A and B are shown apart, each in its own frame.
Chain A
Amino acid sequence: MTDLTITRSFDAAPEKVFDFVSKTEHLLKWWGPEGMTLPEHRLTLDRPGPWMSVMANAEGQRFKVSGQVTKVDPPLLIGFTWAWHDENDRRGVESHVTIRLVPAANGGTEFELHHVDLPNDDAAASHERGWSSALRKLERLANAQSDKERKNG
């Protein structure tokens, strides 16, 4: 299992940052890569309960992820579970996300995101290694594809 930690410093106060990472209207402004749309979502992270989002890219591929909000301590902490769904809507390995907001001396916020219990091949890695790991996944997929073609042919 692999753990991922990302920290950021924001000028906004923890109360405002908490709103932006927990309320639907704000989450929709930043959730997911630019260029992807969110055709379905239940992005409410400010209270315990289920959440989900479906991201779609320009080619119409859909990526669904879902979980449960397990811990909310405004404006300092949000914890939720996380798992991608496959093309048959089967939920995969569950991982855990914790967002911690620490008030900074300048009135801003130190933002910490921990995403733990991730599968090993999703390396918490450098940009270059991230690419290599993406390419390894591609290689496996391409091999699986040609195996299938051989079987069918």
Chain B
Amino acid sequence: MADLQTHFAALGDSTRLAIIERLLAQGEQSAGDLQDVADVTAPAISRHLKVLREAGLVQRRVDAQRRIYSVVPEAMQAINAWTLSHRDFWQVSLDRLGRALEKE
């Protein structure tokens, strides 16, 4: 629960939310790639990425001179379980129903 509150607090900013949405939609990106998610400066993007990393939403790897960012899958799963849509509920449940039917 503490983790979720940290996640929500970090996402309560439109630039940070835009960064997460971009990473979810397009996979990992460098800080430079993320520059155009909002009309803010490069240092501002770096600060937002730092907040997202500290909140456990985003992870970083180093590739030569570049720092590449991606979402932390476990954090996304925790959020997803919490904000489950009805379509998600039925899709995952019916997958399980299909497997249960095949077993017996």
Using an 8 Å CB-CB cutoff, how does the interface string of B9-24 with A read, 1 for contact, 0 for none? 1011010010011001
B79 to nearest A CB, angstroms? 7
B11 in contact with A16 (CB, 8 Å):
no
> CB of A153 within 8 A of chain B?
no
Q: Given A57-B81, A113-B90, A133-B85, verify A34-B96 contact (CB < 8 Å).
A: yes
Cα separation A30 to B97 with both chains bound (whole Å): 5
B54 to nearest A CB, angstroms? 15
Using an 8 Å CB-CB cutoff, how does the interface string of A113-150 with B read, 1 for contact, 0 for none? 10100100011110010111111011101110110000
A135 in contact with B85 (CB, 8 Å):
no
B98 in contact with A8 (CB, 8 Å):
yes
> CB of B46 within 8 A of chain A?
no
> CB of B65 within 8 A of chain A?
no
The residues of B that contact A128 with a CB separation of less than 8 Å are 24-25
Which B17-55 residues have a C-beta within 8 angstroms of A? Answer: 17, 20-21, 24-25
Main secondary structure of the interface of B (DSSP, over half): helix
A4 in contact with B82 (CB, 8 Å):
no
The residues of A that contact B72 with a CB separation of less than 8 Å are none
Cα separation A115 to B93 with both chains bound (whole Å): 14
Question: Which residues of A line the B interface, CB within 8 A?
Answer: 4, 6, 8, 10-12, 16-17, 20-21, 26, 29-36, 57, 59-61, 63, 95, 111, 113, 115, 118, 122-125, 128, 130-135, 137-139, 141-143, 145-146
Question: Which residues of B line the A interface, CB within 8 A?
Answer: 1, 3-5, 7-9, 11-12, 14, 17, 20-21, 24-25, 78-94, 96-102
- List 11 other contacts, CB 8 Å, given A4-B90, A143-B12: A4-B86, A10-B98, A29-B96, A30-B96, A33-B84, A34-B96, A36-B81, A124-B87, A130-B85, A139-B12, A139-B17
